[in-house]
Amino acid sequence: MAIFITGATGYLGSYATEWLLRNTDHELALLVRAPDYDAGVERLWQALQLHMEADEFHRHLDRVCFIRGDLSEPGLGISPADYDWLVSSAESILHIAAALNFRSERACTNHNLRGTLSVVKLARAIQEDHPLRRFSLVSTVAVAGNRPGAVVMEEEPLDWSRSDFNPYTRTKKFSEHMTRELLPDVPCLYLRPSSVIGDSRFSETTQFDMLRAMCTLSDLPVLPFSPGVRLDVVNADWAGPAIAELHVREDLAHDTYHLSAGTESRTIGEVAEALAATLGKRPPPCSGRLTGPFERVSEALARLPKAGRLQRIGALLSVFIPYVATDIVYDNTRAVTALGTTPTPFTSYGAGVYRYAKSVNFEFPYRPLPEELDLSNVPPSPVRPMA
């Protein structure tokens, strides 16, 4: 029996997949956009080279099979043979994949709504064949909606009267609702990360969107926010493994967990001072009066008809600013209690991530899989080979 995972080759998914490979003996069936086995291996290697060397990666391949498909295609684009195999052989589903295009209603609808519906329909088919141990949906804390100055608790239900930040949070909110409605007889788990930026153990990262926005703001002569606004930023090496560990745990007391910094979130002023101290700079002053004008300028740049550097910066900041300016934190008591560990404050590792992002110009230098690793020597997988 295998864990079926979507989004295993994404940023958070790579952390969850690495944890499962190193800490369990579960067989993993990964949905990948790859035409054949070798291409699937290459995509997984790109995701996992941040976490392990090639020889260790090679040793784990005997527990992995690749299911060719696409989240936005009907039936996930999975072949009938692979679909039938999943229905009879998957013991649980870990649904991580999502469109992170915060401004595109179309992309978020196709991936986060239609894609999740296809995964839910697969779960429904599995449940009718044999009891599904768990369906875990990776969502976002922002399904709580726009709630200025709030501390959002994990037990709070979805509030449909609240406005949503963007198409991403709106479609994630409805994905949670859809899952609850269509899988009432399946044990479901809802995992909600906050803003995931960087790894507290090392400076390298493969995800730069939120980080680019942070760096752009950090380089301004004046920060257009009040210094006391809290930033709920969580490190990937806590949130990613938490997704995997909570998915396989049998003793969970709840069905919803915030993977967030919680009430230990640092303020903009504290983050600015920590970055400046480490980088040997003077921290920029903060001004809450500039938040509105800065947001309007960013929106205007984002709507420029011609794509270019200014348009891209505007699009990025116009998405990021509402998360920053709203001053919301998300209580993580349940997650911290269940895991026995706490996130690392961004102030203790942010400067290293900042330096690294600048040094590689916000583009990770992927390494190809060494040619000396002969994939033909990988032992036959106990799970289905790629069709």
Kindly report the pTM of this predicted structure. Answer: 0.94
The stretches of 183-308 forming alpha helices (DSSP H) are: 209-218, 236-248, 268-279, 291-302
Using DSSP bridges, classify how beta strands 266-267 and 230-231 pair: parallel, antiparallel or unpaired: antiparallel
Residue 252 has pLDDT above 80, yes or no: yes
Q: Is the pLDDT of residue 378 over 60?
A: no
Question: In the prediction, which pLDDT does 169 show?
Answer: 93
Q: Is residue 163 pLDDT above 80, yes or no? A: yes
Decide if 224 is inside a domain: no
Question: Which of 26-35, 42-51, 254-263, 365-374 has the least mean pLDDT?
Answer: 365-374
**What is the rounded average pLDDT of the residues 340-361?**
96
- Token pair of 325 as six digits: 């300016």
pLDDT at 321: 87
| Residue 281: inside a domain | no
Assess whether pLDDT exceeds 60 at residue 299.
Answer: yes
With respect to residue 255, please indicate whether it lies within any of the assigned structural domains: yes
184 in a domain, yes or no?
yes
Q: Would you say 65 and 384 are in contact if contact means Cβ atoms under 8 Å apart?
A: yes
The mean per-residue pLDDT over the stretch 139-158 comes to: 95
β-strands 188-193, 256-259 pairing? parallel
Nearest to 239 by CA among 202, 272, 204, 200: 200
Residue 218: pLDDT band (50, 70, 90) is: confident
Mean local confidence (pLDDT), 226-240:
97
Q: Give the count of domains, the chain.
A: 1
Q: Is residue 305 part of a domain?
A: no
Q: What is the pLDDT of residue 236?
A: 98
**Could you tell me the residue range of the domain that residue 112 belongs to?**
2-197+233-263+329-344+365-377
pLDDT band, residue 374 (cuts 50/70/90) = low
Judged by average pLDDT, the poorest of 43-57, 63-77, 97-111, 341-355 is 97-111
| Cα-based angle 154, 343, 366 (whole degrees, multiple of 5) | 115
Query: What pLDDT band is residue 230 in, cutting at 50, 70 and 90?
Result: very high
Is 335 inside any structural domain?
A: yes
- Asked if residue 95 has pLDDT above 80, the reply is yes
pLDDT at 381: 52
How confident is the prediction for the chain on average, in pLDDT?
93
What is the Cα–Cα distance from 107 to 114, expressed in whole angstroms? 10
271 located within any domain: no
pLDDT at residue 387, as a whole number: 56
Mean pLDDT of all residues in 370-380: 63
Q: How many residues does the chain have?
A: 387
What is the percentage of the chain residues whose pLDDT exceeds 70?
A: 96
Q: What CATH number does residue 34 fall under?
A: 3.40.50.720
Whether the Cβ atoms of residue 164 and residue 174 lie closer than 8 Å to each other? no
Residue 152 and residue 330 in contact, taking contact as beta carbons nearer than 8 Å: yes
pLDDT band at 310 (very low <50, low <70, confident <90, very high): confident
Residue 129 lies in a domain: yes
Q: What is the pLDDT of residue 14?
A: 98
Question: pLDDT band for position 376 (50/70/90)?
Answer: low
Give the list of residues 6+ apart from residue 19 with CB closer than 8 angstroms, or none.
240, 241, 244, 245
